[in-house]
């Protein structure tokens, strides 16, 4: 049984290790023959149409295409096959071609711009390897590999596959459903995603409503002065709209309006009395006490708020206008 397991572990697919090595040796000879054949096609195409400096005239480019199309037709290949073979042959003079390196590797490394660097690279496989692989060559020129190994290569492969918007959306949705994936996303990026997804007013409203139903979230959100001011403003606006709707549509609105005015007057007077009474109790306690600079600053800031509020009240009482200008709103927000 141990012998059978050992033999199975030595197998590659359905063949033994020794048979696999025979196949590799045989196919390397085939690849070398193919490489020589493809270089021959490229050399003959170069002979018919040598590579000219870039920026040639359109007529010349058309003549090259016409010649290569005819050659491709006459030997039963596609135009692109002949064109690519010609280009690859132009990148590798005969003395710099490596017989034991496939035409595919020559094609990929042919993208190295510098001639000396390119010719040296093909003779020096990556450290620890005896031969170039297609993926190693792609790494050398910065292409996306077929079998990603490093995290960055996997990320690049995903980006390549997700270039289509619908594919990207589906992939993102699937990833975010995996808790272990979402947990690794930084807070900053999570916020960015939420902001992007909530650009739509309907989505933003639904999301905000759901979040504010969570007591801990609502508590932390309300600790932000701007957020609290916006919520209070929204509540006031909602109340105003409801009040306007009531006055426009309800037959008892005139009677209620008189009551509201009386209640508002009483509320305002009560607020005055409460403020004066509280101040009368507190200020005498400051006798012979020297406040620090920070404390004085805070008191002065609040005095400014009170003065601004009193001015606002006087304007409302005298004119009936209760709108706040931007400066007053900023003062009341503590900005």
Task: For 319-330, write each residue's pLDDT tens digit.
Answer: 877 777 776 677
41, 85 contact by CB (below 8 A)? yes
User: What is the DSSP code (8-state) at residue 325?
Assistant: P
Would you state the structure tokens that stand for residue 184, as one six-digit string? 């690794």
| Digit-coded pLDDT (tens) for 215-228 | 777 777 777 777 77
Residues 6+ apart with CB under 8 A from 168: 162
Closest C-alpha among 134, 79, 78 to residue 111: 134
The DSSP result for 171-196, as a single string, is HHHHHHT-HHHHTTS-HHHHHHHHHH
Handedness of CA 91, 92, 96, 97 (dihedral sign): positive
68, 82 contact by CB (below 8 A)? yes
Would you state the structure tokens that stand for residue 250, as one six-digit string? 């309800």
Residue 1 has pLDDT above 50, yes or no: no
What is the predicted pLDDT for the residue at 137?
95
198, 204 contact by CB (below 8 A)? yes
What is the predicted pLDDT for the residue at 3?
47
256's enclosing H/E stretch is helix 253-282
What share of the chain has pLDDT > 70, as a percent?
76
| 12 backbone dihedrals φ, ψ, rounded to 5° | -120, 110
**Ranges 61-75, 165-179, 315-329, most confident:** 61-75
Task: Provide the residue ranges of all domains of the chain, joining segments of one domain with +.
Answer: 2-145, 240-288, 290-335
What is the predicted pLDDT for the residue at 290?
83
Q: Which residue has the higher pLDDT, 190 or 94?
A: 94
């Amino acid at each position: 049984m141990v012998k059978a397991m050992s033999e199975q572990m030595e197998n590659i697919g359905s063949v033994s290790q020794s048979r696999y090595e025979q196949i590799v040796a045989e196919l390397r000879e085939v690849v070398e023959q193919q490489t020589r054949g493809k270089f021959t096609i490229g050399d003959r195409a170069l002979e018919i149409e040598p590579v000219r400096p870039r920026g040639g005239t359109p007529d010349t480019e058309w003549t090259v295409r016409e010649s290569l199309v005819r050659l491709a037709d006459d030997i039963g290949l596609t135009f692109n096959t002949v064109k690519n073979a010609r280009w690859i042959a132009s990148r590798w003079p005969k003395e710099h071609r490596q017989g034991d390196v496939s035409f595919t590797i020559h094609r990929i490394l042919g993208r190295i711009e510098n001639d000396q660097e390119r010719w040296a690279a093909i003779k020096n496989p990556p450290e620890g390897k005896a031969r170039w692989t297609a993926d190693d060559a792609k790494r050398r020129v910065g292409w996306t590999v077929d079998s990603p190994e490093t995290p960055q290569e996997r990320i690049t492969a995903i980006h390549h596959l997700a270039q289509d918007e619908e594919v990207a959306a589906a992939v993102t949705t699937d990833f975010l459903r995996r808790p272990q994936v979402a947990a690794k996303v930084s807070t900053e990026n999570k916020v960015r995603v939420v902001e992007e997804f909530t650009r739509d007013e309907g989505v933003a409203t639904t999301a905000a409503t759901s979040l504010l139903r969570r007591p801990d979230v609502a508590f932390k959100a309300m600790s932000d002065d701007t957020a609290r001011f916006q919520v209070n403003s929204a509540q006031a606006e909602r109340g105003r709209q409801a009040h306007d709707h009531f006055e426009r549509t309800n037959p008892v609105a005139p009677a209620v309006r008189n009551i509201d005015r009386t209640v508002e007057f009483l509320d305002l007077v009560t607020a005055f009395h409460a403020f004066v009474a509280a101040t009368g109790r507190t200020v005498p306690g400051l006798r012979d006490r020297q406040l620090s600079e920070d404390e004085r600053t805070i008191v002065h800031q609040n005095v400014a708020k009170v003065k601004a509020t009193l001015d606002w009240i006087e304007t409302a009482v005298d004119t009936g206008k209760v709108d706040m200008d931007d400066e007053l709103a900023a003062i009341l927000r503590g900005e």
